[in-house]
Structure 1
């Protein structure tokens, strides 16, 4: 009943072309990745408690107030990041309406619904982060959840680009697909290690004397080495995957995604090295988070390109027998 009611609601909108669906889905990727970067900006500017409560900004007010204890800049940065959540939600809702109006296959609609659902979960995690005074592990979960949303948004884009009446096509042998899965696991481990570095690092999100933010009590050099070694292992797997794909003659789409991913990972490594030897400047933290989102998106795109749906001419389709 609810599905029929929502379909009738979606039918009130113009029929979106495939190009429009792709554009909306691509914007979903950008907004999901973008809000992770603005979240990093909140942290490195020490604006994490610019709005000290949630869902209100201050008790009794959803907007910033003239409060001597909280600088105006910190309020503006944190409140601005919260307002971006509505932009993310808007495009998440738009992609659901678009694929529902176009009556795309159930798989596409499922991935589309994950966007607003995940955004709501992210908002709740953000509220927990504020209410717990920016505990390091809540900040870590917040970032990791953003990376999951970026991954899912890329898969949604890939599913939208596939024809609904297409035939499932495997472009890469199973061993190499499993190697890609393993590289994704190492990417996840690298991201987790990166959040641990953040938890022990200099950018706690709030420098107020009255609010002592609890930090991860582990030597940061140890965590940095763990993070770096996982990144090297991730890169090594990608290089091995590249040789394996070259041996079987990978197609142009897979080759392009793989080269972009390798370039992004190498760039991330360079940014991390500069961060380490320059005492983690704030600007590079935001760049590094954006790079993490880009690597996540590129890995998801590579995975999606290995098994896809392709159109088959009607004369080549197998006849349906009773």
Structure 2
């Protein structure tokens, strides 16, 4: 999630091309060059890249710990590699976004990979506390399908959010003019509609969990997701009606990461191994 925040800071401060190339920051140097004309932008971008390196070390350690745990099932051990693969892919796509002058499609994929990493990490953390027996759902099939639909709509919400951002004013660099050739208002409304579908599914699921006497852990996870969703929606509307100020946009990105993790957690709490 910290990487989502720092990546957002890069974009919102216009530091997307603070480092002019990749994997180096400047030709012949992996760090920003110091001279009189140096601005803060290279250091913001370099800080984001440094955090990616720190995250890379962490996911390598996690992968080694999970994959070498012979007491666990093969599927769990194999899943331990997913965050590592995601970080490598995320770094490469991030580099491509610099080399392609912050093409909004590439930048959007970069963010979606980050969100996928958040979801995968939440699932891996939950799986760490599970056993390795067959999956046993703790709720009726209706609630299971509602949860799966909720996760699917969450993915649509994130994808439309990327398009909204790619058509808006925060391109990552003041000199980069290329944006998605779509009506920002129309896309924002589509994004909002998807969010309301998500809210409707979540409320339906929560009511079913409460009435059906679902485990307390599952109900708490759903309540937390509802709270995050409402806060995220409030921030979304606030930023839309106030001209997309950088602080609110940054909070909205953090909220998207929290919503992603909470959605994954909610789905996982409906089962047991």
Alpha-carbon offset, residue 111 of structure 1? 1.5
Structure whose CA Rg is larger: 1
Structure 2 residue corresponding to 1:84, chosen from 40, 51, 73: 51
Does the 8 Å contact 1:140/1:196 carry over to 2? yes
Q: Distance in 1 between matches of 2:12 and 2:141?
A: 42
Note the residue ranges of structure 2 that are not aligned, 5 or more in a row.
none
1:70-118 alpha-carbon deviations (Å, 9 max, x no partner): x430000000000001111111111122224432321221121111111
2:100 aligns to what?
Answer: 132
Q: Distance in 1 between matches of 2:214 and 2:115?
A: 27
Does the 8 Å contact 1:42/1:81 carry over to 2? yes
1:193 aligns to what?
Answer: 160
Note the residue ranges of structure 1 that are not aligned, 5 or more in a row.
1-32, 310-322
1:20-53 alpha-carbon deviations (Å, 9 max, x no partner): xxxxxxxxxxxxx210111011000000000011
Secondary structure of the corresponding residue to residue 136 of structure 2: strand
Q: Distance in 2 between matches of 1:177 and 1:163?
A: 20
Alpha-carbon RMSD across the aligned residues, in angstroms, is 1.4
Q: Distance in 1 between matches of 2:33 and 2:204?
A: 55
1:9 aligns to what?
Answer: none
Structure 1 residue corresponding to 2:66, chosen from 99, 103, 110: 99
Does the 8 Å contact 1:171/1:307 carry over to 2? yes
Does the 8 Å contact 1:187/1:234 carry over to 2? yes
1:151-230 correspondence runs (5 A)? 151-164=119-132, 166=133, 168-208=135-175, 212-230=176-194
Alpha-carbon offset, residue 68 of structure 1? 6.7
Structure 2 residue corresponding to 1:146, chosen from 114, 125, 132: 114
Q: Distance in 1 between matches of 2:98 and 2:136?
A: 46
Alpha-carbon offset, residue 67 of structure 1? 5.9
Q: Distance in 2 between matches of 1:237 and 1:167?
A: 27
1:43 aligns to what?
Answer: 11
Q: TM-score, normalised by structure 1?
A: 0.81
